[in-house]
Chains A and B, each alone.
Chain A
């Protein structure tokens, strides 16, 4: 009997010891060491490593974040990093003296910012090092100062009707807003790469769009917009003074007060403190005339305020393939990115369908290709729920990171930090200089929306 029982036990053990259930990769995951080598863009700055640059590694799967400065040799040596897929963001601020000592010539400005980013960097027992190149950040004169996309409580506030964007003059010169374009960008809403039209970072591989011939430059040198607005004016009609801003409202009305929508129904506001007064906006976005021109009805919440100039509808999809929004609506969850740019002839820029499209149909949408060189400023927003992250739309030279409100419909906006106060010439006043390192995670905070307010 004893022998029989032993035999049965041994046979069970033999049959059950196969351990190929997890494939060849069935190894234990444990924290590992990881090294990031940081250098400056060799095509501009030569082959130099970046000392004391701040490296931030954020785990795509968990949000775990590690921060470390590079050493004197340009290396950040992390210990005990949980394996996974990471977004690595590197930023470096350099004053003029350090710039001169590093590169041997004078910088164009008193302070220079550098940014680098690597998305979907894999860290594992087998991959324990990477390198990131820093690109010099373009110093903007006009900035996107505030984006109020989250909206306010759907029942007690104004829902999405009170959204706005604020553009700020961060320079010491008067700048005319006339002809300035605002682009609402388009991209993928998830970071998956299990298809044949995504880049390694999860964003569309635009080089595979129908008719695209420029190769990978389509991804690295351009952004793609589904909606573009244009500030009206003859060139000198809408000045923005230094330290001043313009507010572009979805609806230029006082959302704290009761309204009537375009169908005649009253809109009541139960808690005015949750929303904003946009009746003094500089511009509003009214799609009514445009919708009528393409045979579509006017959206009931696209309320026209005749006292406020309308933005021009510069691009709403290719003619005959109109993009679907019948109002200027920002995604309350944060799946938009925005750029401001200038070009002499927008119609000369090509538009493409996204690369998931293999056959053009009547429902195909097109997206205007905007060269990075024309972009004055840009901000990548991010979904407020980390479970629903999306890939970046902008290159690191425009925005090395992204920023998000805490939730949708929570009355929050992302607003640029105030960096310094400087004297205004002539009147003895002060002008606020806003943070502009082209890294929205560093440059912005989230707070209750406040048109023309500051952080």
Chain B
């Protein structure tokens, strides 16, 4: 369902030069290698013997989404303008550096029941502790993301690696109530491995710290009262339960991420196999402000134990395996991923938890590519994702589960090809099928607002099969011998396959529309 999947469309699109089998790989020349670039970031030392030549790529893009069929806590439409630059730099045979910088400016229209920077476009629920008002409003968001990485071979088979990551986000809602959200996210990860012949074992561990501060203001604060249903600020604690939150004007989250794991890699001339096991635990603490301590109505929020209100812990076990066959006239890449996530909340005032989220996810992505020299004769991508999701609120009292299957199938082909120009067309379809769903709600509280307006609607969304076509077109132009230009555009739609969502909610029956276009320069 992610629109990001559209970016995968050109994965197999451009001339995969079999002659490069034993040469350095210039990633931008062949979109199939972007898959591998993503995996280098996950464990750079597993790829330190793979030859990738230096490159820098700079991209400008724009994305428009018109989401008629959606979960409630997602905007009805959005416009995203992005700038990205990334590259690989081989300092020596023993040292490789990676770098990337991303910037996005996003405007969203008509987003209700959500005063956070989280969205339910790509996830069934928000984290349990958050503020909302029913009133819809527009948002503006800016994201900055800087990443740096390295792999280094200091001695014999010993290999070391590191990744550092910094994200900064500022979001604000453009009408009352107006949260101004500032987010800073720092993380780092270290890798160590030893290579013996064709085999390598590695271990890794990382730490991250994310802080989000919320400053909620209103031009007309006097409407923030239960009598004004649309504007009254409420706090969701779980999945259906609403409680009061006196610190709603100023509060903050701090999330500490600890992760570690191990990996194995095997490689020979034509084959590369790697697998990584990892465990991560994110502990999110919600802090109020010091107004209570000072007997004031407004206060400052900071990370102090005395201001801690609630917690949310997200544990993730992940296994990720990849295989890449590099043939003379064909490539085959497959990825199998398994994740098991559990989220638990905790209320400091009540000394207990009422919410648990679980998500077990198995996915596989398979690419098959037939080439004729640098021309793509046929590329196929088959992706299948099985999700087993559940959310329980003991006090809400809600129990929901959804078992679902996503299947995405794409074909691409170079429909025009010369030495200096090339056009690649991709056609595909994405689909979603609920396999088994259930929503059990026993009103344990007098307030059923969240169930009536969010939970019930979202469950209808999750229980509706969907399908839609997608199309992609990329035009490549060689500018100089070392510089290429790419102009790309993608279009996709998503239709419901039955009337369930339309019959049971306010859904207008129109499909979702996605459009994306941009220009890249790589050298």
Residues of B within 8 A of A356 (CB): 295
Interface 9-residue window, one of B45-53, B97-105, B121-129, B443-451: B443-451
Query: Would you list the 7 A-B pairs with minimal beta carbon distance, nearest first?
Result: A406-B227, A192-B292, A25-B351, A407-B225, A29-B352, A22-B346, A61-B243
Interface 9-residue window, one of A62-70, A260-268, A296-304: A62-70
Task: Tell me which residues from 38 to 88 in chain A have a Cβ below 8 Å from any Cβ of chain B.
Answer: 60-65, 80, 82-85
A384 to B245, CA, bound (A): 14
Q: If A12-B279, A21-B311 touch, does A29 touch B350 (CB 8 Å cutoff)?
A: yes
Q: A192-B293, A194-B292, A409-B222 are in contact. List 20 more A-B contacts (CB 8 A).
A: A12-B279, A16-B317, A21-B313, A28-B352, A28-B353, A31-B395, A31-B397, A62-B242, A83-B350, A84-B349, A85-B349, A124-B352, A190-B291, A190-B292, A195-B293, A356-B295, A384-B225, A385-B226, A407-B227, A410-B227
Q: If A192-B293, A387-B245 touch, does A12 touch B233 (CB 8 Å cutoff)?
A: no
B212-239 near A? 1/0 per residue, CB < 8 Å? 0000000000111111100011010000
- A64-B445 in contact (CB<8A): yes
In the complex, the chain A residue whose C-beta lies closest to that of B291 is A190
Q: If A356-B295, A389-B246, A406-B226 touch, does A194 touch B306 (CB 8 Å cutoff)?
A: yes
- A64-B447 in contact (CB<8A): yes
A194 to B305, CA, bound (A): 12
In the complex, the chain A residue whose C-beta lies closest to that of B263 is A8
B506 vs chain A, min Cβ distance (A):
27
A83 to B228, CA, bound (A): 28
B360 vs chain A, min Cβ distance (A):
15
Residues of chain B having any CB pair with chain A under 8 Å? 222-228, 232-233, 235, 241-246, 248, 260-262, 264, 275, 277-279, 281, 283, 291-293, 295-297, 306, 311, 313, 315, 317, 344, 346-347, 349-354, 394-395, 397, 444-447
Instruction: Report 24 cross-chain contacts, Cβ distance below 8 Å, ordered by A residue.
Output: A4-B264, A12-B261, A15-B279, A21-B283, A22-B344, A22-B346, A22-B353, A26-B346, A28-B354, A28-B394, A29-B394, A31-B444, A64-B445, A65-B446, A190-B292, A192-B293, A385-B226, A385-B233, A387-B244, A387-B246, A389-B244, A406-B226, A406-B227, A410-B222
Interface of A is mostly: loop
Residues of B within 8 A of A22 (CB): 311, 313, 344, 346, 353
A194 to B304, CA, bound (A): 13
Which residue of A13, A60, A154, A332 contacts B244 across the interface (Cβ within 8 Å)?
A60
Residues of chain A having any CB pair with chain B under 8 Å? 1, 4-5, 8-9, 12-13, 15-16, 21-23, 25-31, 60-65, 80, 82-85, 124, 154, 188-192, 194-195, 332, 356, 384-389, 406-410
- A63-B315 in contact (CB<8A): no
Q: If A21-B311, A31-B395 touch, does A62 touch B227 (CB 8 Å cutoff)?
A: no
Q: If A21-B311, A29-B350 touch, does A388 touch B297 (CB 8 Å cutoff)?
A: yes
- B297-A62 in contact (CB<8A): no
A387 to B248, CA, bound (A): 8
Residues of A within 8 A of B246 (CB): 190-192, 387-389
Residues of B within 8 A of A29 (CB): 347, 350, 352-354, 394-395
- A62-B447 in contact (CB<8A): yes
In the complex, the chain B residue whose C-beta lies closest to that of A154 is B222
Q: If A30-B394, A82-B445, A389-B244 touch, does A8 touch B277 (CB 8 Å cutoff)?
A: yes
B379 vs chain A, min Cβ distance (A):
31
In the complex, the chain B residue whose C-beta lies closest to that of A27 is B352
